[in-house]
């Protein structure tokens, strides 16, 4: 296949980066991804390998904190589309490493935008903003117009990333869009996030590898969707003539307790007998509830989510069961 258009993805080794790379390859793009050096390169590629595309993505060494690596990559690639997905993305860690979070999740965005502005101003740019920016919610259903009230160093950093993207669009005419994505999950979600912790934990209990699952605030509510649906929305944003900001959400909110119930029930287990509440997993400041309106995305992009929470959790549980069985085989 001759690949006409080039896309550059930062965070290509993460959950969304992997699914987005898969989507863009299927659409005929040449896909390049930024990869930071670690002492265990084998682990970095796991998600791309799981999707069977590790050989199809051009990997470029770099780091969001190293402007020279970003500039060199974009100068050479001259990408039609740039997706800035890299970040320190875990809320709980952001209280332990607030400076690292600010460097990657906030300043990393302006490094990318400076790169675009100076060496590839024609590139269309996507910024991975987050529903965590709504934090202590100011309206029961959050839209693009709802005021923000961040509740963690992660959310504060994302807020900078969001506004600097808007500012570079308005200041320099860049085609820069910000997707305010609500939580989205998949079998490739990091194990520290609550959905994956639950699906992995339930599978371990089912297989006799663990006896209990320790969780924090299970009364918190999130608007959960599937990462496969959400990366499609990112691509759709960059196909618009005009750059803009969009909420991407399902419009349904569910407690951690009920999400957990789906996982345990799918395995024929009683959640109440296995879940232990552990205050160690409480956060210094909590986001109690998130619920987004995808009305603008539906009207302007024609985007709607296709995968329900029930389907998502069942897919994740089945994937964790298969993983654990193959490890112990």
**Which residues would be at the binding site for ligand NDP (CB under 6 A)?**
10-11, 13-17, 34, 36, 38, 44, 63-65, 85-89, 104, 108, 128, 130, 181, 183-184, 190
| Closest residue to ligand GDP using C-beta atoms | 220
Q: CA-to-CA distance for 103 and 108, rounded, in angstroms? A: 6
Nearer to ligand GDP, 16 or 132 (CB): 132
- Binding partner of residue 220 among ligand GDP, ligand NDP, none, CB cut-off 5 to 8 Å per kind: ligand GDP
What dihedral do alpha carbons 50, 51, 53, 58 form, nearest 10°? -80
Give me the 218-257 binding string for ligand GDP, x by CB under 6 A, dash otherwise: x-x-x---------------------------------x-
Least separation in angstroms between residue 318's CB and ligand NDP is: 20
Residue entry with tokens 């069985």: 325
Phi, psi of 75, rounded to the nearest 5 degrees: -60, -45
Beta strands in 16-165 (DSSP E): 30-35, 58-61, 81-84, 124-130
Nearer to ligand NDP, 86 or 233 (CB): 86
Q: How many residues bind ligand GDP (CB under 6 A)?
A: 19
Q: CA-to-CA distance for 212 and 198, rounded, in angstroms? A: 11
Nearer to ligand NDP, 194 or 317 (CB): 194
Exactly one of 281, 298, 300, 323 binds ligand GDP (CB under 6 A); which one?
281
Query: Is residue 215 at the binding interface for ligand GDP, with CB under 6 A as the rule?
Result: yes
Q: CA-to-CA distance for 273 and 271, rounded, in angstroms? A: 5
C-alpha separations of 16 from 56, 107, 329 in Å: 16, 20, 29
C-alpha separations of 203 from 101, 230, 307, 325, 328 in Å: 31, 26, 21, 9, 13
Restricted to residues 51-110, the positions that interact with ligand GDP (CB under 6 A) are 91-92
C-alpha separations of 41 from 14, 59, 104, 280, 295 in Å: 14, 12, 20, 31, 41
- Binding partner of residue 229 among ligand GDP, ligand NDP, none, CB cut-off 5 to 8 Å per kind: none
Least separation in angstroms between residue 15's CB and ligand NDP is: 4
Residues at the contact surface with ligand GDP, assessed by CB under 6 A: 91-92, 132, 183, 192-194, 197, 215-218, 220, 222, 256, 281, 283, 286-287
């Amino acid at each position: 296949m001759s690949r006409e258009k080039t896309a550059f993805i930062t965070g290509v080794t993460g959950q969304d980066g992997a699914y987005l790379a898969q989507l863009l390859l299927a659409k005929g793009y040449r896909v390049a991804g930024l990869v930071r050096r670690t002492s265990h390169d084998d682990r970095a590629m796991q998600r791309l390998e799981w999707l069977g595309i590790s050989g199809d993505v051009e990997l470029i060494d770099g780091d969001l904190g190293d402007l020279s690596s970003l500039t060199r990559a974009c100068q050479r690639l001259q990408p039609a589309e740039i997706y800035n997905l890299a970040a320190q993305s875990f809320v709980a860690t952001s209280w332990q490493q607030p400076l690292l979070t600010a460097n990657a999740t906030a300043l990393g965005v302006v490094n990318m935008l400076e790169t675009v502005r100076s060496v590839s101003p024609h590139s269309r740019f996507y910024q991975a903003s987050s529903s965590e920016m709504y934090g202590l919610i100011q309206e029961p259903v959050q839209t693009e117009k709802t005021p923000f009230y961040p509740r963690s160093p992660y959310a504060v950093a994302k807020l900078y990333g969001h506004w600097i993207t808007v500012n570079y669009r308005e200041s320099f005419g860049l085609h820069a869009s910000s997707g305010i994505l609500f939580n989205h999950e998949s079998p490739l979600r990091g194990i520290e996030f609550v959905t994956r912790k639950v699906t992995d934990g339930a599978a371990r209990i089912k297989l006799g590898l663990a006896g209990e699952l320790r969780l924090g605030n299970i009364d918190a509510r999130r608007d959960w969707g599937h990462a496969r649906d959400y990366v499609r929305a990112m691509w759709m944003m960059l196909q618009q003539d005009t750059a803009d900001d969009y909420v991407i959400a399902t419009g349904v909110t569910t407690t951690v307790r009920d999400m957990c119930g789906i996982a345990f029930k799918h395995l024929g287990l009683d959640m109440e007998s296995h879940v232990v509440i552990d205050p160690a997993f409480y956060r210094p400041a909590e986001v109690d509830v998130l619920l987004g309106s995808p009305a603008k995305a539906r009207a302007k992009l024609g985007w709607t989510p296709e995968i329900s929470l029930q389907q998502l959790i069942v897919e994740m549980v089945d994937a964790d069961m298969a993983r654990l069985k193959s490890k112990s085989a």
